[in-house]
Structure 1
Amino acid sequence: MEDARRCLTIVLGLVLGTSAGVATGQTLSDGTENGEWPVYHGNLAQQHYSPLDQITADNFDDLEVAWTFKTDNLGTRPEYKLVGTPLMVGGRLYATGGTRRSVVALDAATGELLWVHGEKEGVRGAVSPRQLSGRGVAYWSDAAAVSRSGPVDGRIFYVTPGFRLVALDASTGQRVSSFGDAGWVDLKSAAVYGDELPIDPVTGEIGLHATPTVARDVVIVGSSMREGHTPKTHNNTKGLVQAFDVRTGERLWIFHTIPRPGEFGHETWEDGAWAVTGNVGVWNQIAADEDLGLVYLPVETPTSDFYGGHRPGDNLFAESLVALDLETGERRWHFQLVHHPIWNMDISTAPILEDIVVNGREIKAVSIMGKQVMVYMFDRETGEPVWPIEERPVPQSDVPGEQTSLTQPFPTRPPPYDHQGVTTDGLIDFTPQLRAEAERLLQRYRTGPVFTPPVVSDLDGAVTSFRSSGGTNWPGGAFDPETKILYAPSYTSMVTIGLLPPPNPEFSDIPYVRGNVLTGVRFVPTGGDTSGAETPDRQAIEVFGGTGARTATPNPQGLPFLKPPYGKLTAIDMNRGEILWQVAHGETPDRIKRHPALDGLNVPRTGQAGAVGALVTKTLVIMGEPLVTMTETGTRGAMLRAYDKATGEDVGAVYMPAQQSGSPMTYMVDGVQYVVVAISGGVYSGEYRAFRLPL
């Protein structure tokens, strides 16, 4: 059999019968109430909540390691960016891991490996723009079989680095031969660029890190393309969403995120821009309401991230929340969060479905957070905003050829929950000297509110635009369906956005790409697209022009430019649209704690800048730190922290040898509650680590 279709499945030990499974036809609250974790975020509402309460504030510090599972041998080299969140169904964990993106089944109580499945995709996998292990899998079981007490047809679905949808038997890890072509569907076959030109089936650039979504016996898969900082062409692969029959693999519908002629929104791509623009993928988790028969798409930026002169117009459905009919893929409603996107805001989190009560009125709501640290809330059936969202004037671009939108949408509540833009009030103020240095450095950069546009970099003018970055990224938030409180992790760092013409025509056909006069134009390969099992040695960073400076980001004496906290956890009452509390998340980084300019100062915990996800239980919010520091245990590592979900009080912490890199989840087996989290980074390779109370 050809290399691209070779697979490896190893089953270890006895198959102990089929699991009870989770039936289809779930309601909004279905998912974790029986102690399982059957969906990436716990349920199709993407709430990342479990009602388990064995682990509490009183005993969190007593947690011990139940088991660990290293992913080093799931590929040709170890992985140092394990971002998965496992599922737990019927006493088994299902997860992806390793540079081959292998799927594993583990005993939930012991971590013992039961089976492993991996695909060898050759060149197709090696050129993928979305490599490594991805975020996990989806689970489905036959509701009809459950209702008649027959054998359960449990299946695991995942997307390979080479963009195939694979269906596995949950008991054995073998491909389900009745699904698609011997167990898989070629997702690339529907992908196009330009004016409906098919991409190359091997080298065409499209992939996905997110898991499929399974709702009402339909498997829904998004798409992701190469990151757009320095793309070679604006005519990149176009985003799309595909849906398949869960049993047969038959394609049911396709939704074009860049509308074609005759489709709704096509007119927002002026001057034929739809035919020469790519990206606009759906790279995060897709939420679903099976009762309403709707799915909710978080849609990303078009090519390129910071320049859109080649695509005049608002560019629907870029950076929009889109509700589709689950059965047909038809658009029911949409809301564009950013018009004519040039800030790389994407929609970086999964939509969260919430049943709330506002002024005595019950509302089936959906909310979305993101890098701009605002919460946009809608009636999830109609798309009407829960609270008014105002179109407000924003700064305009002076980059040649760029045509920015005159206004952008701003929610009136809840208020922003972290830094937006850069002002002097937000600058570092540990000492007057540091504040003065920050103000001096700031003079060479263009700053302003949240939608301050990028600039053409100029030594005699603005080196770059300078803005806060981070916000809430791909791990997303968590929602407590009992208290109606949303928990929003966020972080703040600074980013400089400058534009320069490409150094040569072969580098890019876009008039302006990211770069600046100090460091030049750089092509920087990322771990997500250059470190897979099939990939040759990592590509070197290419630098064109510049003065030789290592960075264009000013840091006063090497310290962060803004005031702390640099990492936060915010609790938001979704019934009222009000912030209840905020706390700094993460110990103060060593480079700040030990900085000579701060010697003798009482610097409170600053929190840590990094994207981490939160888990909400009956009484706690659980989050790991995104950085390694010298911990309170006296050992370098990171802490898995617990907060009282009502007050934000830090009520416990346990040691981890590396930072949290995937969102935590929890489940109960044989009367014991476990918390499992992916850790990795630096020199520490990927590992799933399970905690429990002493037996």
Structure 2
Amino acid sequence: MFKRNIWLLQAMLAVAMAFVACHSSDKDYRRKNQWWEYGGMPDQSKYVETQELTLDNIHNLSVEWAYELTDNASYQFNPIVVDSIMYVLAHNNSLVALHVDTGRELWIHGNLNGITRRGLNYWESADGKDKRLLFTIRNTLQAIDATTGKSILDFGDKGIVSLNIGLGIDTTKVGRTQPSTPGRIYKNLILLGSSPGEGLFSTPGHLRAFNVVTGKLAWTFHTIPQPGEKGYDSWPKGAYQYAGGVNVWGEITVDEKRGIAYFPLGAPTYDYYGADRPGNNLYGNSLLALDAETGAYRWHFQTVHHDIWDYDLAAAPQLIQVKHEGKTIDAVAQASKQGFLFVFDRVTGKPLWPIEERSVPASKVPGEKAAPTQPFPTVVPPFNRQYVDENAISDILLSKSEYDSVLLRVAAAANGFYTPLELDRETISSPGAVGGASFGNTASNPEKGIVYVMSQDFASFYKLQKAIPHIPRQANPAAAQQDATLKQGLSVYNLYCKSCHAAGGSGQIGPALVQIGKKMSFQKFKGLVETGQGQMPAFQHLDENAVKTMYAYLNTLEQAGATAKTVENAPSKNPLLVAENAAFDQHPGREFVNRNRSVYYPSHITDTPINRYVTGYGLELPHVLTPPWSYIVAYDLNKGSILWKTPLGTDPNAARKGFKNTGVPNGAQRKGMLVTSSGILFATANDGFIYAYNSADGKEIWKHELPLTSEALPSFYSRNGKDYIVVNATTTQPLSYKSSQNTTKPKTTKGAYIVFSLKKS
């Protein structure tokens, strides 16, 4: 009898193990053929196994269906696909579940204003019964049932997890703590970065992990080291108490097999002047490898010492396998904004090829102590132009007078790679603030050791100046207070916005901003300033007072013939609305707290106030360099060499003058790629097309016009043996060109999520 029971127990155990193995295998298959998270998979390769789409039949790729937006908002959201459901952001920041076959709405979760706009995270339990969507919104982490769309109220405190915890600082001094890009799921954890802004005294960007079921904080890694921690001596004593930034606003990558998470870290703040932070400032601008389950340090490499050029790391680290010196190496490749591709052994952090410390110029700005050397890869060539002179200036999109003016500015400017910014004259940095590679701009064929970098040439023309004083609210007469407010608003506008939106807000590169209050509320305006849109970068370092004064100033402006309208598209009357974020309403998020000041007193330096020096991003000349302005570069990292380089798109204005393959100014920012096992590389561009290239040689093999341009990563899924490409084409900037004859007009003229598939034969 005893032996029989043992046999039965063994048989039951075998059946259970077989069930678990089958479910695990089924889960792996689903993940590989769907798009469960931002970037597709934890390795961020954007590499997918295709079942039917090939180089031979791609010409048959066309629109299967499109989900049109009802509002005029621009969404950077990367669609998530799980089984038969696609999740998108639409309709006044509502999360919408669609059926993947038709685009039919299944449910809507509304009123997610303040949500991280680039995407969210999906997690399911081992038995598949608990399926949830996790997202960050207004300094909180929340969860939604992926099947019903309803808030999960036993997550955290009645559905809310505060992102102000685990930072080791006074929470009353905490500003923005949520990330601008989704985190990364590892087992039952969600790994999160943050986007605290770029102003002085911004929140430190410490890395954290939370349990996806309970919401409890699992671990914290201090990116600005505290006493006794590695890297503490690379900062002034006590800097952790006031320094900010050193955050992951870009893309996290995870090696699931080894349990290692790779974090590309941004610069310390303030980005362009670091008198309060002498030293190399670890872990600023570092690729940091941590144990994903515990947050324990594994290794790091700092790509910029004491950054004063805003050279954040933001692009996803690429996990690849290469043949190197007779061995097979599991490597990680990190593309940077300054145009370098750094390659390391992903376990040890050892560079595959030597990286040299080379002397760079000293700073001339009072109080600034620039690093004497910077790291330079020696074998892997840069993918970006790193120096600008008169020969690099193009007259394609400039008048004769404009061209001559730019030449004079270049001749008079301080110039050269890693040249510090100055006070008395302009400094040209190439790549500039939005040059090089940013989020969404890397992909790979992992097993072949090929890495693809989407990049752009963009030189910033910088000039430091004293910061605009902060005007606190006080009991002044109303007229005097209003006058002071408008003067500050004008100063803020001239420093950060005038170069693109012209004097008086009349519009130039960017749209007209006159009487902005008739177009959008202050909260929406503030959100736009913080997150950016289209060619406009994010100005997260501007405090709320500065944004308020600029908003007030713009509301006083008038322009002949200008019209404005407000579009509100809340889905409150839609019968599919399952919730309006009730959990959030119960626990409103903390308003961002201003920690910026016009002067500061770092006690380690002096008791006397030190002037702040600031600059705009220098974006007023996006098209002055010789083209191509944006392109894709393929690296063979078995050899450490460039395999091919091809322009990405064509600027419409250059096309009218007969130029082709020029790339597009800002053409690679906020874009993305897909790489297929059948040899196709898909990429979106700022000219309003999606392109396909032969991934072996970079030759264009297909393109399709979109109704609007895209600021999001494309997605991929296979269903019943059929392949689908999903493109978020919702950026509301007009595309002023005519369709070429070899493309198909889109089936919609509104912003839409567009699904492509092969035509039925």
TM-score category (smaller protein): 0.7 to 0.9
The CA deviation at 1:200 is: 6.0
In the TM superposition, what are the counterparts of 1:492-641 in structure 2 within 5 Å?
492-506=457-471, 521-522=495-496, 527=528, 529=530, 540=551, 560-587=623-650, 589-594=651-656, 603-609=659-665, 610=667, 611=669, 612-618=671-677, 619-627=679-687, 638-641=688-691
Q: What SS does the aligned partner of 2:238 have?
A: helix
Distance 2:686 2:335 in 1: 19
Identity, in percent, stands at: 32
**Which of 60, 74, 79 matches 2:73?**
79
Note if contact 1:31-1:37 (Cα within 8 Å) is conserved in structure 2: no
Deviation at 1:644, TM superposition (A): 0.5
Following TM superposition, by how much is the alpha carbon of 1:413 offset from its aligned partner in structure 2, in angstroms?
Answer: 2.8
Closer/same/farther in 2, CA of residues 67 and 518 from structure 1, 3 Å limit: closer
- C-alpha distance 428-104 of structure 1, shift in aligned 2 (>3 A): same
* Counterpart among 709, 715, 726 of residue 665 in structure 1: 715
Q: Which residue of 2 aligns with 1:11?
A: none
Native 8 Å contact 1:155 1:170 kept in 2: yes
1:186-230, CA deviations, whole angstroms, 9 ceiling, x for partnerless residues? 1123346xxx211368xx33322211211122111111112x2xx
User: For residues 29 and 322 of structure 2, what CA distance do their matches in structure 1 show?
Assistant: 19
SS at match of 2:33: coil
| Normalised TM-score (structure 1) | 0.80
- Look up the match of 2:183: 212
Deviation at 1:170, TM superposition (A): 1.7
- TM-score if structure 2 supplies the norm length? 0.73
Partner of 1:327: 293
Residues 1:287 and 1:175: Cα distance change in structure 2 (over 3 Å): same
Distance 1:541 1:304 in 2: 26
**Is residue 692 of structure 1 aligned with residue 754 of structure 2?**
no
Report the CA distance between 1:603 and its aligned residue.
Answer: 3.6
Unaligned runs of 5+ in 2: 1-19, 473-488, 499-525, 534-543, 555-597, 599-615, 735-749
Partner of residue 81 from structure 2, selected from 58, 77, 88:
88
- With over 3 angstroms needed to count, the CA separation of the structure-2 counterparts of 1:528 and 1:169, relative to structure 1, is farther
CA distance in 1 between partners of 2:134 and 2:438 (Å): 24
**Which one-letter code corresponds to 2:48 in the other structure?**
S
Q: What's the secondary structure of 1:258's corresponding residue?
A: coil
Bigger Rg over Cα: 2
Q: How does 1:252-401 map to 2 (within 5 A)?
A: 252-401=218-367
Compared with structure 1, are the counterparts of its residues 504 and 141 closer, same or farther at alpha carbon in structure 2 (3 Å cutoff)? closer
2-side partners of 1:21 and 1:569: how far apart?
40
Q: What's the CA shift string for 1:36-57, capped at 9, x where partnerless? A: 1222112111101112152333
The answer to whether the 8 A contact 2:78-2:715 is kept is yes
SS in 2 for 1:264: coil
CA distance in 2, matches of 1:322, 1:365: 14
Instruction: Show the counterpart of 2:516.
Output: none
Change in Cα spacing, 1:491 to 1:675, as seen in structure 2 (3 Å) is same
Contact 1:519 1:551 in 2 (8 A): no
- Counterpart of 1:631 in structure 2 is none
After TM superposition, the structure 1 = structure 2 runs for residues 56-455 of structure 1, keeping only pairs within 5 Å, are 56-72=54-70, 78-80=72-74, 82-97=75-90, 99-100=92-93, 102-119=94-111, 131=114, 134-143=117-126, 145=127, 152-160=129-137, 162-191=138-167, 196-199=169-172, 204-226=175-197, 228=198, 231=199, 234-428=200-394, 439-449=407-417, 451-455=418-422
CA contact (8 A) 1:296 1:351 kept: yes
Give the structure 2 partner of residue 14 of structure 1.
Answer: none
Q: Give me the whole-angstrom Cα distance separating, in 1, the residues matched to 2:97 and 2:294.
A: 33
Structure 1 residues 503, 168: closer, same or farther in 2, change over 3 A? closer
Q: Where is the helix percentage greater, Structure 1 or Structure 2? A: 2
| SS of the residue 2:730 aligns to | strand
Of the three residues 438, 443, 450, the one matched with 1:478 is 443
Which amino acid in the other structure matches residue 148 of structure 2?
T
Deviates more, 1:436-445 or 1:426-435: 426-435
Quick one: distance in 1 between partners of 2:718 and 2:412? 55
Deviation at 1:300, TM superposition (A): 0.9
Which whole-Å deviations, capped at 9, do the CAs of 1:115-174 have from their partners, x for residues lacking one?
Answer: 222456xxxx6xxxxx4651111112222x2xxxxx5322211112x0221122221112
- Structure 1 position 342, deviation (Å): 0.7
Aligned length: 603
Cα deviation code 1:270-300 (max 9, x no counterpart): 1433322212211112111122221111111
Deviation at 1:667, TM superposition (A): 0.9
Consecutive unaligned residues of structure 1, counting only runs of 5 or more, are 1-19, 126-130, 146-150, 508-514, 545-549, 596-601, 628-637
Alpha carbons 2:389, 2:411 under 8 Å: kept: no
Cα displacement string for residues 344-375 of structure 1 (whole angstroms, at most 9, x for unaligned residues): 11112121211222122111111111211111
Letter of the aligned partner of 2:320 in structure 1? E
C-alpha separation in 2, matches of 1:564 and 1:346: 24
